[in-house]
Amino acid sequence: MRALLLASGLVALCFVAMPASGAGTADAAPAATAQTEGVGRLDGASAEAFADSLAALEADMGGAAKLALHMKLAQVRAKLAEQRGRPLTDAEFATALDGKTLAELDSLADAAPTHITIDIETSDDT
How confident is the model over 84-117, as pLDDT tens digits? 999 999 999 999 999 999 889 888 888 876 666 6
Asked whether residue 121 is domain-assigned, the answer is: no
Structure confidence by residue, pLDDT tens digits, 1-22: 444 333 444 444 444 444 444 4
Cα distance between residue 50 and residue 23, in whole Å: 9
Structural domain count of the chain:
1
Q: Is the pLDDT of residue 67 over 80?
A: yes
Phi/psi of residue 35, each to 5°?
-65, -40
First to last CA, the chain: 25
Spatial distance between the Cα atoms of 4 and 30, rounded to a whole number of angstroms: 38
Domain span at 40: 2-111
Residues in the chain: 126
Residue 119 placed within a domain: no
Q: Provide the pLDDT for residue 92.
A: 92
Decide: helix, strand or coil at residue 55. helix
- 62 lies in some domain: yes
Q: Which one-letter amino acid corresponds to residue 40?
A: G
Confidence of residue 126 (pLDDT cuts 50, 70, 90): low
The whole-angstrom separation of Cα 70 and Cα 105 is 11
Return the closest-CA partner of residue 22 out of 61, 55, 57, 51.
51
- The predicted-structure confidence for 21-45, as pLDDT tens digits, reads as follows 444 434 444 444 433 444 588 888 8
CB 91 within 8 A of CB 99: no
d(CA 56, CA 13): 19
- Predicted pLDDT at 115: 65
In a domain, 120, yes or no: no
